[in-house]
Every structure is written in C-alpha cells, then in structure tokens.
A = this chain, B = another copy of it.
Amino acid sequence: MPETPVPSTATSDPLRILITGSAGFVGSHLVERFLNEGHTVIGVDNYISGQVSNTDLFSDHPRFTFIEADVSHGIPYTGEKLDWVMHFASPASPPHYQQFPVETLMVGAQGTQNGLELAHAHGAGFFLASTSEVYGDPHVHPQPETYWGNVNPIGVRSCYDEAKRYAEAITMAYHRSRGVNTRIIRIFNTYGPRMRPDDGRVITNFVHQALRGEPLTVYGDGSQTRSFQYIDDLVEGISRLMMVDYHGPVNLGNPDEFTLLELAELISELCSRKLAIENRALPLDDPRQRKPDISTAKNILGWLPLVDVRSGMNKTAINEKNRIY
C-alpha cells in the first residue's frame, strides 16, 4: 500500500453527483458516503428492484434530491452542471433479473447510453457499475481484467451478463469516439446492510434466516466456496477510482474464499447458538464460482479490502436487525 495519502472523494472539493439506482443496495451506500463528504447528490430510481426505504433515509437531507424515473427511458435532470453521472441502476440478483429480463437488458443498453449522453452534455465523468458476471463461467482463476470471459449469449442469465458487457462496450465507445471521461468497475459479490431481504444470495439469506430464527438454507453439500466483499470496501474503491485518470475496467472484490458451511458456522457463532442447517438441491443455474484478481485496484488505487467476513456479517446482522426486525 502506498504511504502517501490516496486521493478519494473524501478530500475533493464539493461535487454534484447524479446516481442512478440510488435506492438500490450499492447506490444507497454511495449516496450516504457522498452526502457525508459534503457533496450534492441527485438520486434516480424507478423502484423496480430498489427500496423506498433507501430513499427515505436521505429525503430530509438538504443536499439530496430524488427523481423517480426509469432511466432506460431518459434521465429527466434539468438542474445545475453535474460533475459525475454514476450508473448503478439494474436488477442485480438472479431472481430479480430473471423476473425482469427485458428491463434488465434495457437498463444496460438504453440506461447506460442515457447516462453517457447526460455526462457528455454536462462535461461530467461517467461511472459504470459493471459486474464479475461479464466473466461468466470463467476458465481462468482468479479473473484479471484482461480475461475476456465465458458467457452464454442465449442463456437465461444472458439478460444480465450481456447487458453489462454491452454497457462496457458502449462506455468505451463514448470514451474513445466522444471523449467522455469514463470509469468502469466490475463488482464481485458484495454484501452489507440494506440489501433486499429476498435478494436470494447466500449471506443475505443466512443473516435474515438467523434473525428470523429459521434454519440456514445450504444448496448442495455446502463445500463450494464463495468470496464476499463488504459494502464499505466497495464504496472506498469507487471513491478512489473517481479521483484517478484510468479508463479500463477495474475489479473490486474480496478474494478471500469461504465454503458455505464455514459461513453457516460463522453466523451460528455470531448468534451464540447453533443454527440448524437445511440442505437443498443445487439449482440448475447455480451462481458460478468467481474470485477477483485485484492487482489493478491495488496498483492504481492503493486499495485492498479491509473488512473480514466475520466483522462484515456482524455489522450486517446488527444493522438489519434494527432496520427490519
């Protein structure tokens, strides 16, 4: 890690930042961070998978405005000059995007392009939330940004995977041919407070099952490994990337791997009681195993994930208990 202070939005002059998907999990944490740092934030969401409660958190804040809109049909912002357009709108968990395949495709194509056009018109930066799903079912482990991926273009997950690959392609096209100042991150599995309780991914499932006193659902025998990044680490990486002049994609994720059974034990420990485990058959489209190569983020941002899974799950459980139960 570099010894000189790393530039981030924490030390920049006040910015005016528009965030699509502001009522989503990652979007809402960005809103919180930028408001805390003194920036002005315009949130946009259509609540297709975002949560009204994530908007309500900031609705009284003097530097927060909210626009309810479907960004695939345009971003109706008419205010002062923006410094950043950050495109975080999209269903992101498999049950959600498979419920809304066409909307997911549209927010990747028209939604991204509307964001790029808005950024271009304002001379603002454009920040794309892409995903480790662009690597598909990878043949290379861990995945560096130079790996081109292994995605089925016609599969049931392609509405998300191909939408995000397209979003990267059009972001690069606007960067190359129209000079837009762009950033692309590929977000690996991330968890934390304010995810939808029905998100469907394992840490959220475990935390909410534990809080409700239900058995933990483990698909398969639980020996498969996953890696998880706590939301605060992701937000720190985003904030640093905004301040450097780098236009290629950057992986942001935590490479530490755990088996599902290890996670189940960990949450039992945090609850100070042994939680029952209910084994179920693996779904046909079981999420593929991915593990980020984070050398790029280390090198250009001096960034490393700092929150271990024990402390991240604990923070998540405490927050969610207060928020929902």
Q: Is the beta-carbon distance between A151 and B150 smaller than 8 angstroms? A: no
A165 touching B153, Cβ below 8 Å: yes
Interface of A, secondary structure class, is helix
In the complex, chain B residues whose CB is within 8 Å of the CB of A136 = 148
CA distance A305 to B163 in the complex (A): 34
Of the listed stretches A31-39, A99-107, A197-205, A255-263, name the one at the interface; the rest are far from the partner chain.
Answer: A99-107
Q: Quick one: CB contact mask for A172-206 with B, threshold 8 Å, 1 for yes?
A: 11101110000010000000000000000000000
Taking residues whose C-beta sits less than 8 angstroms from the other chain, chain A's interface range is: 35 or more
- The answer to whether A249 has its CB under 8 Å from any CB of chain B is yes
Q: How would residues 145 to 175 of chain A score, 1 for a CB under 8 Å from any chain B CB and 0 otherwise? A: 0001111111010110111011011101110
In the assembled complex, how far is the CB of residue A77 from the closest CB belonging to chain B, in whole angstroms?
Answer: 21
How many chain copies does the complex carry?
Answer: 2
Contact A153 B176 (CB under 8 A): no
The answer to whether A153 and B158 touch across the interface, beta carbons within 8 angstroms, is no
Is A110 positioned at the interface, with any CB of B under 8 Å from its CB? yes
Proximity bits, A105-127, B CB within 8 Å = 1, else 0: 11011100100000000000000
Do A148 and B150 contact each other (CB < 8 Å), given the known contacts A102-B170, A105-B166? yes
- A109 and B148 form a contact (CB under 8 A): no
A105, B174: Cα distance in complex, Å:
11
* B109 pairs with A174, CB closer than 8 A: no
Interfacial chain B residues near A215, Cβ < 8 Å: none
A248 within 8 A of B: yes
Residue contacts A-B, CB under 8 angstroms, 24 given:
A101-B176, A102-B173, A102-B178, A105-B113, A105-B166, A105-B169, A105-B170, A108-B166, A110-B110, A134-B153, A148-B150, A148-B152, A150-B150, A153-B165, A154-B169, A158-B169, A158-B172, A161-B169, A162-B162, A162-B165, A162-B166, A162-B168, A165-B165, A165-B166
